[in-house]
């Protein structure tokens, strides 16, 4: 079962396309463009890679290329607006690529039909923008097909059709996607792809204006400096089943993703409403039954992370292996991979009421938006754990919590703020609000989600990046600058990590034998 789960797990990797990918490219193009000439020849593909290898980007899953975007740099004035696809690409050879050009020209974007709906095209468009910015190019231009026009060609002009697509009166599988990715239509061009009968040989001339000019030799996968955090202050409510619960989860993931967040944080035991199903059982038996849903929820949460292109810190859920009941938080990355962190310290109530046991390890996890740690609720009240994570170069600490009263919340909140200051990192916390009648030990909730920073001139004077209204269902979306952490650690007014008296004391993790 475990082996089968590993085989089905997505492992998405963004990288430059290689010549060895040709068979995968050929498979995708032959399927998508079977009515427009099919795939490039291997020689054409080889010429494209040779002309501008940095501009040919793809996404692989478990070693197989499943999506790609091809581009070249051109001196746009040499071609002007009334060009054809063959003219600007040199009939597919890319011998028109000009290292001194001013425009990134997007030639093709395609996604394997089995991967439709996972928003891989959006990722590829985002990387194109990154390349454009890092090469200091004026804009991205592309000729866009309008395949849906075939259904309206007898009743309206291409321009009228495009206007209706812009106004969302008509959906076009290509143009609607491009407009959603911040491209605007400059004009309609004719005979762009004569073989494109669906578009009646018309195309949109699309442009994305580059307003940033960041210089960096690495065009893909730069370490992010500005990271956007999305925190969900979750309202406990009755859910009929897992589908009902996940519908609400997806609503918030979609909302946070809409603000282009890199992370979405959910609270500890956000799935507790499902305990109502086991209300006739003893509390310890009920929570073990709740643990039966954990694998399904994690799997669906991982799918959401991939589909909505953000990393999800999935609060926490109970895990029961038949011998030990533990509280675990899952990190579901947007590349399809997963990690988990167990709660180490169990409160007296959790131990006596449910029989929870603590985990035995702590880790810093690498993500595409910094190195993160996770401490579940009570764990953040132990400063040693935060310091151990800081010594492993943690940038952001996520703390999903559940507290019933204000004094319990204030313990977590005060300690979280302390961890940010003493470890020179960002700390994001969120819990749940509302009430759950007839669910024992989870009946009332108190929360005020927040993001904390170090306390120095580069940060907010009160070390509060953002804070939610208390006891209301809401979200926080805010940016944190990881470069400021480096500055703080090297040149801050005080430097807690650097100035520790290691000649006098240290914290040592005792490995379990």
> What amino acid positions are annotated as catalytic residues?
268, 343, 377
Give backbone dihedrals phi and psi of 501, rounded to 5 degrees, phi first. Answer: -85, 75
> Distance between CA atoms of 410 and 435, rounded to whole angstroms?
19
In Å, how far are 105, 144, 197, 474 from 193, measured between CA atoms?
16, 10, 9, 48
**Tokens for 364?**
């810093």
| C-alpha torsion 272→377→254→237, nearest 10 | 30
Question: Token match 């991939």: residue?
Answer: 306
> Distance between CA atoms of 378 and 380, rounded to whole angstroms?
5
SS3 call for 103: strand
Give the residue among 388, 463, 382 at the shortest CA–CA distance from 415: 382
In Å, how far are 120, 123, 239, 501 from 274, measured between CA atoms?
33, 35, 6, 49
> Distance between CA atoms of 340 and 336, rounded to whole angstroms?
14
Residues 6+ apart with CB under 8 A from 93: 44, 47, 48, 51
Give the residue among 237, 258, 259, 257 at the shortest CA–CA distance from 248: 237
């Amino acid at each position: 079962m475990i082996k089968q789960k590993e085989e089905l797990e997505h492992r998405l990797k963004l990288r430059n396309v290689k010549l060895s990918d040709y068979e995968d490219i050929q498979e995708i193009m032959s399927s998508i463009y079977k009515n427009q000439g099919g795939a490039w020849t291997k020689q054409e593909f080889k010429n494209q890679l040779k002309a501008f290898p940095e501009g040919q980007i793809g996404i692989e899953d478990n070693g197989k290329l499943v999506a790609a975007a091809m581009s070249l740099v051109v001196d746009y004035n040499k071609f002007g607006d009334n060009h054809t696809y063959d003219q600007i690409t040199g009939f597919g050879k890319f011998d028109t690529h000009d290292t001194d050009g001013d425009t990134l020209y997007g030639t093709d974007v395609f996604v394997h039909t089995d991967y439709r709906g996972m928003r891989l095209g959006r990722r590829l468009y985002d990387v194109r923008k990154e390349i454009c910015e890092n090469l200091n190019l004026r804009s991205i231009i592309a000729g866009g097909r309008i395949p849906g026009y075939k259904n309206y060609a007898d009743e309206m002009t291409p321009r009228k059709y495009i206007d209706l697509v812009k106004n969302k009166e008509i959906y076009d599988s290509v143009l609607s996607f491009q407009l959603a990715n911040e491209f605007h239509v400059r004009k309609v061009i004719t005979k762009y792809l004569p073989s494109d009968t669906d578009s009646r040989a018309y195309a949109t001339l699309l442009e994305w204006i580059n307003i940033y000019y960041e210089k960096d030799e690495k065009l893909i996968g730069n370490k992010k400096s500005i990271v956007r955090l999305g925190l969900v202050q979750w309202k406990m409510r009755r859910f009929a089943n897992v589908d009902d619960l996940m519908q609400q989860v997806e609503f918030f993931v979609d909302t946070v993703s809409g603000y282009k967040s890199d992370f979405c944080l959910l609270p500890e035991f956000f799935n507790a409403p499902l305990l109502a199903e086991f209300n006739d059982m003893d509390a310890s038996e009920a929570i073990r039954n709740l643990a039966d849903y954990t694998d399904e929820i994690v799997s669906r949460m991982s799918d959401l992370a991939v589909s909505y292109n953000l990393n999800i810190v999935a609060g926490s859920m109970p895990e029961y292996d038949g011998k030990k009941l533990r509280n675990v938080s899952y990190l579901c990355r947007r590349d399809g991979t997963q990690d988990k962190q167990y709660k180490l310290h169990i409160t007296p109530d959790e131990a006596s009421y449910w029989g929870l046991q603590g985990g035995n390890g702590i880790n810093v996890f690498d993500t595409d938006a910094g190195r993160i740690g996770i401490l579940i609720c009570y764990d953040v009240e132990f400063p040693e754990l935060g310091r151990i994570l800081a010594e492993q170069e943690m940038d952001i600490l996520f703390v999903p919590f559940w507290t019933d009263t204000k004094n319990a919340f204030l313990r977590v909140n005060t300690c979280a703020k302390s961890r940010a200051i003493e470890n020179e990192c960002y700390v994001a916390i969120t819990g749940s609000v509302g009430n759950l009648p007839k669910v024992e030990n989870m009946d009332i909730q108190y929360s005020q989600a927040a993001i904390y920073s170090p306390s120095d001139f580069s940060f907010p004077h009160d070390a509060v990046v953002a804070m939610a209204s208390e006891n209301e269902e809401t979200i926080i979306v805010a940016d944190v600058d990881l470069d400021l952490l480096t500055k703080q650690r090297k040149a801050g007014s005080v430097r807690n990590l650097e100035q520790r008296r290691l000649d006098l004391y240290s914290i040592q993790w005792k490995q379990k034998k």
